[in-house]
């Protein structure tokens, strides 16, 4: 049962791939897989931030909205205000990191439930995005902003996953994140600076949302104020499908990568099969229930 | 004496405000606050309100599906004394009880852009005929394609979106294919449609949908998109696959960014709709009712026009959003 | 002989409630001192001050003859005092080794450790196994999650952690409270082995038989003060309980 839980997401992914390979001869090609990776990289990076937050038994409902704000800030500065692309990008990431810091501060210092805090920041980020952009898409971006569009973006995403994996499993700070989520009091009594750690987690997540914004800009070639609206839940879905527990302290970031891929593979595979997207929504829902149940049952 | 003088001055100062306060009130409830479509609508309503000597109060939902805020707005506006309320409904069915309630209080409710379900839940409807919008671009696509066999991809919104269904089915009908009836919420799927994907009206998802469809059928030659952001996403995907020159992309809306995309050749043709006209006609009808007591009724088609590379200039003059 | 810890005149108030009313404390190096007292006597407040979890409103504290001020549990740890809380303070999903080294993880030598801050997991596993062996705690695998262990084994992990890092004193808060007979006996043996290592043990317990089974001396706490400090052979359980509950006063 334990091995099933640990490798469950991977098995699900492989089974899905095997199934779709039988349904369409266009599924198993490097071109198609490369496409899927490009399609999931934005949510993929969001989900790294979401993973570390969920590991602390928190949740971030604002990730997509903050990313959208980031993508508008960086593009509007570059196009409308003539700011050099690198500085505009940094400003966008700085804004998303600031939101992360605000979330972290409210959760750790004022001890408000993450669900409620991030629900608030979700609305605030969304409103600021609409106002700042006048709900208009920003086009004609400088070339530097779209450099990370395809394979380089995917490589960056995979590299970030690698770094996250190393930090979480091979460093003390990473293990402290798990301890914090598993038993915050134990972590505190063990001498871990839990408040500081919690804020750092949200700050890092915020920075990652900014990187996701850049990847989005690179992929679509525009600054889109309507972006990120479904991504809030998409990121959480990816984390849950990857086997990370919403109760904190358990899970891996590689699991999240697999969870992200599962969603992308299903969307791609079902489209190739000509199956209505309603079924994709249905299947995703069933997989989430399956993932959460398996996690709970394995700990009986 | 001094008191009398002061009272006179105060009265003179307040007179315009009082006069304004005694103007009849018309309310406008849009789906969202910031979508350029509704910004244009609000502009048109404010202009028409001035011209017709009525006071306009406005409210909106938080997003495309926020029924609750619209219900609250209906109630608040009725309490505030609005004689007429114009509304673009987020949820065609769910808003009906609230509409009926304020109508029972004697308020005239006019639907703009999106019909309620049932369509006669409001006194009148001023809207685009979305089915017709689809038909226009369908006809255009058929002509543009010529004799070649059609391999159509559709980028729709998401399951259950009625406006998207009308545009989609109208497109099929205009193209000359078998399509569901005008009132149907089902998306038609004849054999010529080789791929259907959901874009959620969103550029990034439109791009993903187009990429996956191209994987399925590399020989797609016509792409219907439910709105211009989705079309922009489709274009990015087509360009990346080197197919942007050979594929005909159609869309609906007529926003300024969309018209610019037509000018740039990213969209072959789009059906432009007129939110300003909807609002203006709605306010005028409301003002007429207040003056004469004659209630507006029925459905008024506020028109769609086909914009392609030939009449881009007209399109840009009438578009909504940042010019 | 320097005492491991001495405290005089400790006062701690919470609003209108006086938890400690001029309490004294004395712990000899290498002894097992049981701290007993009824609920509300100020036992846990006293222990929290010694472990650095709270600071007294007034009073003196000396560790190893030198004045000490603990503003956090880390200060107490740095002074060589380890505390094993009643809740054990272990992260259930994490392994035995990880819990043992929680907050004090070992890093690899060289650039891997210094620059990449990579943990030396093999070394932590080895050392954990060694600590367990020395204290004769029967846990098969250092990688198994603590939540899969029995109550007594979990207690063992917490004690091993305290004993591994303590330099002078290990404070144990109700170590046998949640355990059955057999596991309690195991833990009492464990406490003796901790003493054999040269560490002093402060044992907070309600359980008289357990106290008298292992403690060298007993500190009786009542109404915010120490009302007695006796060698366990020199006093009976009944007298101790009497002093604890204030039934009879003995000079």
Q: C89 vs A183: CB contact, 8 Å cut-off? A: yes
CB A45 within 8 A of CB A37: no
Length of chain B: 323
DSSP state at residue C107:
B
Q: Of C188, C198, C146, which is closest to residue C167 (Cα–Cα)? A: C198
Cβ within 8 Å of residue C109, ≥6 positions away: C120
Helix axes A2-23, A253-273, angle to 10 degrees: 20
CB contacts, 8 Å: A24 with chain B: 216
**Alpha carbon B112 to its chain's center:** 8
Q: How far apart are CA A253 and CA A259, in angstroms?
A: 10
Q: How far apart are CA A138 and CA A143, in angstroms?
A: 14
Q: How far apart are CA B55 and CA B53, in angstroms?
A: 7
> Smallest CA–CA separation between A72 and chain C, in Å?
35
DSSP state at residue C168:
S
Tell whether A284 is within 8 A of chain B (Cβ): no
Q: How far apart are CA B320 and CA A134, in angstroms?
A: 12
In a structure prediction context, what are the per-residue pLDDT tens digits for chain B, which is 323 residues long? 677 777 777 767 776 666 555 789 999 999 887 788 888 899 999 999 999 999 999 998 877 778 888 999 999 999 999 999 999 988 888 899 999 999 999 999 999 988 888 888 999 999 999 999 999 999 999 999 999 999 999 999 988 787 899 999 999 999 999 999 888 888 999 999 999 999 988 899 999 999 999 999 999 999 999 999 999 999 999 999 999 899 999 999 999 999 999 999 999 999 999 999 999 999 999 999 999 999 999 999 898 999 999 999 999 999 988 87
DSSP state at residue C89:
T
DSSP state at residue A56:
T
Tell whether A173 is within 8 A of chain C (Cβ): yes
Average pLDDT over residues A48-76: 96
Establish whether the linkage from the previous residue to B229 is cis, with ω within 30° of 0: no
Residue ranges of alpha helices (H) inside C56-200 are 73-78, 96-100, 110-114, 121-134, 151-165, 181-196
Chain A contacts in chain B segment 19-38 (CB below 8 A): 33-36
Q: C119 vs A172: CB contact, 8 Å cut-off? A: yes
Interface chains of chain C (3 or more CB pairs under 8 Å): A
CB C209 within 8 A of CB C40: no
Q: How far apart are CA C53 and CA B112, in angstroms?
A: 65
Q: How far apart are CA B32 and CA C230, in angstroms?
A: 78
Q: A and B: touch, per 3+ CB pairs < 8 A?
A: yes
Give the least confident one: A3-12, A84-93, B3-12, B274-283: B3-12
Which of A129, A135, A217, A230 is best to mutate for the B interface (most B CBs within 10 A)?
A135
Q: How far apart are CA C251 and CA C237, in angstroms?
A: 17
DSSP state at residue B127:
E
pLDDT for residue A2 = 65
A222: three-class secondary structure by DSSP: coil
Question: Whole-model pTM?
Answer: 0.86
Side-chain-facing half-sphere of A204: CA atoms under 13 Å: 21
CB A202 within 8 A of CB A53: yes
Tell whether B241 is within 8 A of chain A (Cβ): no
- CA dihedral C121→C124→C126→C131, nearest 10 degrees, is -160
Tell whether B292 is within 8 A of chain A (Cβ): no
Q: How far apart are CA B138 and CA B147, in angstroms?
A: 15
Cβ-based contacts under 8 A for chains A and B: 93
pLDDT for residue B119 = 85
């Amino acid at each position: 049962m334990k091995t099933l839980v640990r490798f469950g997401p991977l098995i699900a992914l492989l089974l899905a791939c095997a199934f779709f390979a039988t349904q369409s001869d266009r599924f198993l090609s490097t071109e198609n897989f490369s496409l899927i990776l490009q399609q999931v990289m934005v949510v993929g990076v969001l989900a790294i931030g979401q993973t570390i937050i969920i590991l602390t038994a928190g949740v971030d409902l604002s990730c997509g909205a903050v990313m959208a704000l980031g993508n508008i800030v960086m593009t509007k500065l570059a196009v409308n205000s003539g700011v050099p692309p690198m500085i505009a990008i940094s400003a966008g990431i700085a804004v998303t990191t600031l939101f992360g810091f605000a979330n972290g501060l409210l959760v750790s210092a004022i001890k408000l439930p993450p669900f409620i805090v991030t629900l608030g920041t979700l609305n605030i980020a969304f409103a600021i995005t609409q106002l700042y952009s006048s709900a208009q898409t920003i086009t004609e971006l400088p070339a530097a902003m779209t450099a990370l569009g395809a394979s380089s973006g995917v490589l960056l995403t995979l590299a970030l996953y690698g770094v996250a994996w190393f930090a979480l499993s091979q460093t003390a700070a990473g293990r402290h994140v798990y301890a914090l989520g598993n038993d915050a009091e134990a972590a505190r009594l063990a001498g871990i600076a839990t408040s500081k750690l919690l804020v750092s987690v949200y700050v890092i997540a915020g920075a990652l949302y900014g990187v996701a914004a850049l990847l989005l800009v690179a992929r679509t070639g525009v600054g889109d104020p309507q972006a990120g609206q479904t991504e809030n839940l998409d990121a959480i879905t990816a984390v849950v499908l990857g086997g990370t527990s919403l109760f904190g302290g358990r899970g891996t970031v590689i699991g999240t990568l697999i969870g992200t891929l599962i969603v992308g593979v299903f969307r791609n595979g079902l489209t190739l099969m000509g199956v209505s997207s309603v079924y994709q929504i249905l299947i995703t829902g069933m997989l989430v229930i399956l993932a959460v149940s398996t996690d709970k049952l394995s700990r009986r | 004496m001094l008191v009398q003088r002061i009272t006179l001055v105060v009265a003179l100062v307040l007179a315009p405000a009082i006069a304004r306060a005694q103007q009849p009130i018309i309310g406008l409830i849009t789906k969202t606050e910031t979508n350029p479509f509704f910004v244009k609508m609000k502009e048109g309503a404010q202009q028409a309100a001035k011209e017709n000597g009525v006071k306009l109060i406005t409210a909106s939902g938080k997003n495309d599906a926020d029924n609750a805020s619209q219900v609250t707005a209906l109630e608040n506006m009725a309490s505030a004394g609005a004689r007429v309320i114009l509304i673009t409904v987020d949820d065609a069915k769910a808003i009906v009880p609230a509409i009926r309630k304020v109508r029972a209080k004697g308020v005239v409710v006019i639907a703009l852009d999106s019909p309620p379900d049932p369509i006669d839940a409001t006194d009148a409807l001023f809207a685009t005929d979305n089915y017709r919008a689809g038909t226009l671009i369908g006809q255009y696509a058929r002509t543009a394609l010529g004799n070649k066999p059609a391999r159509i991809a559709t980028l729709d919104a998401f399951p259950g979106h009625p406006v998207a269904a009308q545009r989609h089915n109208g497109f099929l009908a205009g193209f000359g294919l078998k399509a569901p009836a005008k009132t149907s919420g089902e998306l038609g799927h004849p054999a010529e449609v080789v791929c259907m994907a959901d874009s959620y009206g969103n550029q990034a998802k439109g791009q993903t949908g187009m990429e996956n469809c191209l994987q399925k059928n590399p020989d797609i030659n016509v792409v219907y998109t439910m709105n211009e952001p989705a079309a922009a996403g489709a274009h990015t995907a087509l360009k990346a696959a080197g197919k942007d020159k050979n594929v005909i992309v159609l869309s609906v809306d007529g926003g300024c960014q969309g018209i610019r995309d037509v000018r740039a050749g990213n969209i072959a043709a789009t059906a432009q709709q007129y939110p300003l006209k909807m609002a203006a006609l709605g306010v005028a009808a409301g003002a007429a009712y207040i003056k004469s007591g004659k209630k507006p009724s029925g459905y008024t088609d506020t028109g769609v026009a086909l914009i392609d590379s030939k009449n881009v200039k007209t399109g840009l003059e009438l578009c909504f959003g940042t010019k | 002989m320097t005492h491991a810890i001495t405290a005089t005149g400790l006062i701690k108030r919470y609003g209108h409630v006086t938890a400690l009313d001029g309490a004294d404390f004395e712990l000899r190096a290498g002894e097992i001192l049981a701290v007993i007292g009824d609920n509300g006597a100020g036992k846990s407040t006293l222990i929290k001050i010694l472990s650095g979890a709270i600071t007294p409103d007034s009073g003196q504290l000396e560790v190893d003859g030198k004045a000490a001020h603990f503003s956090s549990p880390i200060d107490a740890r740095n002074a060589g005092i380890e505390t094993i809380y009643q809740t054990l303070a272990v992260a259930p999903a994490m392994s035995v080794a990880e819990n043992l080294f929680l907050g004090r993880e070992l890093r690899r030598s060289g650039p891997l450790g210094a620059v990449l801050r990579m943990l030396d997991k093999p070394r932590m596993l080895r050392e954990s196994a060694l600590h367990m062996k020395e204290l004769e705690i029967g846990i098969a695998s250092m990688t198994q999650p603590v939540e899969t262990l029995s109550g007594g084994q979990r207690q063992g992990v917490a004690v091993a952690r305290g004993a591994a890092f303590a330099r002078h004193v290990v404070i144990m808060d109700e170590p046998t409270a949640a355990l059955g007979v057999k596991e309690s006996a195991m833990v009492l043996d464990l406490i003796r082995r901790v003493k054999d290592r040269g560490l002093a043990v402060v044992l907070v317990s309600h359980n008289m038989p357990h106290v008298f089974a292992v403690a060298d001396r007993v500190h009786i706490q009542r109404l915010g003060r120490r009302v007695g400090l006796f060698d366990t052979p020199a006093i009976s359980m009944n007298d101790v309980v009497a002093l604890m509950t204030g039934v009879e006063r003995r000079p």
